[in-house]
């Protein structure tokens, strides 16, 4: 769903939702609204516990601010070559960009294929 907000609207949204939601800003105009306590990292943690998978066996690819916690949580965080600088800093490895087979190259780097 796409919604359009003015700067004043964004401040109102932040104020009204802060107790129940985290706002993840990609830019000053682009943000995600995520329920507090939920993240990609929490999802990975839950599925690993549910399936009895060791954290040492976790890999994740990311490219933006909404991936920072996940890239830091997994044992092998991989940033795409076209990722934001914060995503690259959070990752253990930076692969090629998405348009140059970055996922395949990342998988090869870690001998997963």
Q: Where are the domains of the chain?
A: 1-38, 40-109
What is the Cα–Cα distance from 60 to 102, expressed in whole angstroms? Answer: 12
The 10s digit of each residue's pLDDT in 68-100 is 999 999 999 999 999 999 999 999 999 999 999
Predicted confidence band at 67 (pLDDT cuts at 50, 70, 90)?
very high
pLDDT for the residue numbered 2: 62
How high is the mean pLDDT of the chain?
91
pTM of the model: 0.82
Q: What is the DSSP string of 17-74?
A: HTTTEEEEESSSS-EEEEETT--HHHHHHHHHHHHT--GGG-EEEE-SGGGHHHHHHS
Domain 40-109 maps to which CATH number in 3.40.50.850, 3.40.50.300, 3.40.50.1000, 3.40.50.12780?
3.40.50.1000
Structure tokens belonging to residue 56: 């040492």
Burial 43-75 (b: 16+ CB within 10 A, else e): ebbeebeeeeeeeeebbbbbbbbbbbbbbebbe
Q: What's the mean pLDDT in 17-26?
A: 87
């Amino acid at each position: 769903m796409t919604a359009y907000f003015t700067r004043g609207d964004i401040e109102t949204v932040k104020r009204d939702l802060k107790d129940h939601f985290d706002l993840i800003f990609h830019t000053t105009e682009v943000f995600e609204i995520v329920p507090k306590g939920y993240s990609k990292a929490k999802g990975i943690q839950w599925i690993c516990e549910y399936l009895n998978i060791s954290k040492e066996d976790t890999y994740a690819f990311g490219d933006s601010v909404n991936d920072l916690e996940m890239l830091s949580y997994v044992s092998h965080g991989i940033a795409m070559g076209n990722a934001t600088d914060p995503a690259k800093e959070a990752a253990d490895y930076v692969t090629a960009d998405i348009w140059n087979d970055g996922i395949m190259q990342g998988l090869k780097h870690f001998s997963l294929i």
